[in-house]
Structure 1
Amino acid sequence: MRRQSGFTLLELLVAIAIFAFVAVMAYGGLNTVIRQGGIVQAATKALTVRQQGLRVLQQDLAFAVDRPVRDVLGGQVPAFLGGATDLLTLTRLDAANPWDKPRSQMARVFWRLTGKTLERAVLMPVDGTVNDSARPLVWHPLLTGVEALTLRFYDANNQSFEVWPPPNAPDAGLPKATELNITLAQMPPLRLTVPQVADWPKAQAPSATGEGASPGSSATDAGTAGASTSAPVSSGLVAPAEENGR
């Protein structure tokens, strides 16, 4: 009868070593794929958050309306302020009203750069709340990692200014367009240009005595509230500054 022979000890050790080597290689490859997937997911999430922040700023600029407001002392404040103490202050239409409250569709919006964080605050109603120490602004961070940020404002003659309204035209109303140049961490410089809508109905702030209008809900607000809220905005939300040829 023929005798059956098995693997020798040396052959078993070689087989086990080969199997262990293949397992280690497979685990290393799988771990690399998982780690790279996590990096891509985190980068995608950060990019989405940044795009959302820029889109909110774009919408604020696009829906800006030439509507001065009254501060808590009754003094008139220009509708649009840029490049001064805070980065940007404006009155905009289409304010969110999810509960359908009986109020104006306008809001006073503030933007500022704190360190490397771009923050936004909103006041409603627009009249009688500005500079009110009893109602401090509540700031919400919308963009982080801001390395550099500049604003330029263009008038009807396409002349650019670093502040708005221009020193020689305090009653200039809205600029023709606003240009934002921003550099975010680990991203190339970006340029965003938003034209202001010229055909929004122009409104005036209510009188300091409040005659004929309650704070935040004046008759002129009602006229602008019915305006169309589809605002033309420059094509392309964000474009690398180098590609604009400026």
Structure 2
Amino acid sequence: MSRASRTEAARAAGGFTLLEILVALAIFALASVIAYAGLDAVASTKGALEKEIRFWRELGLVFDRMETDFLQSVPQPLRDGPDRVRPPVRGGKLGGDDENDGFFIELIRQDADRGPVRVRYLCDRRTLTLRVSPARLLAATGVDEAGRPLDTPLLGAVERCEAAFLTAANAWLDSWPGDQSLARPRAIRLRLALAGQGVFERVFVLP
């Protein structure tokens, strides 16, 4: 019997030749590789998207927290000793003229659960940190006494950060109060350069 006749006989019996099986396996392997590559691309895209969403959510929460603190800050000057009055808002660069040196913003705000609290935002060593400590007004002396602070890192990978304060004459200053007596600024501007993300700016208007 010829080879063609044997092949036809095998097909008639419902079997497959070795060549047909090898071709089918090759097609299956190729389809599997293509499917795996597609799934890997989908998973990578999903992971990158979730990371981006998480970043924007965290940044938004930080800005929202700062806005809440600024809006609830005590508007009047505070006594910091029998003969010393402290401005309601303080802030500026940590040192030197280099914008990479970071900044601090300090204020007292009202807290419904704990009473007045001292809030300090510190941008230093590539990290934006929030420090909160209770501020108890001593009846005898009127001194604002700080309790034990609680530090909370808010943002990391901060390459550059700066703060500015808007005067009543609509001029931006890099420190407060400067020569602005004991008033609060009209607004506080924050700029953050985050590694791999870009530069972000937010202006907080004080009531």
Query: If the length of structure 1 is used for normalisation, what is the TM-score?
Result: 0.66
**Residue 142, structure 1, aligned to residue 159, structure 2:** no
**Alignment: residue pair count:** 184
* Larger relative helix fraction: 2
- Give 1:49 shift: 1.0
1:70–1:127 Cα contact (<8 Å) kept = no
Segments of 5+ residues of structure 1 without an aligned counterpart are 98-102, 198-246
Partner of residue 90, structure 2: 81
Q: Tell me how far 1:175 sits from its aligned partner.
A: 0.8
Is 1:67 the counterpart of 2:69? The answer is no
Larger radius of gyration: 2
Aligned position for 1:92: 109
**Counterpart in the other structure of 1:39:** 48
Q: How much has 1:131 moved relative to structure 2?
A: 6.9
SS in 2 for 1:87: strand
1:180 paired to 2:197: no
State the distance in 2 between where 1:28 and 1:130 align: 63
CA distance in 1, matches of 2:126, 2:30: 48
Q: 1:20 aligns with which of 21, 25, 29?
A: 29
RMSD: 2.4
Structure number with the bigger relative contact order (C-alpha 8 A, sep ≥ 6) is 1
- Residue of 154, 160, 163 corresponding to 2:166: 154
**What's the CA shift for 1:48?**
0.9
Q: Which residue of 2 aligns with 1:239?
A: none
From 44, 67, 73, the equivalent of 1:58 is 67
Q: Provide the secondary structure at the position in 2 that maps to 1:48.
A: helix
| Aligned residue in 2 for 1:164 | 176
Runs of 4+ in 1 over 4 A off after TM superposition: 128-132
Name the stretch that deviates more: 113-122 or 29-38. 29-38
| CA distance in 2: counterparts of 1:67 and 1:192, whole angstroms | 24
Q: Structure 2 stretches of 5 or more lacking a match?
A: 1-7, 95-102
Higher percent of residues as strand: 2
CA contact (8 A) 1:65 1:174 kept: no
TM-score (ref. length: structure 2): 0.77
Bigger CA drift: 84-93 or 20-29? 84-93
Whole-angstrom CA distance in 2 between matches of 1:55 and 1:67 = 23
Contact between 1:80 and 1:165, CA under 8 Å: does it hold in 2? Answer: yes
Listed one character per residue, the Cα deviations across residues 121-154 of structure 1 (whole Å, up to 9, x for unaligned) are: 112234368675xx44221011122121111111
Is the 8 Å Cα contact of residues 135 and 144 (structure 2) preserved in structure 1? no
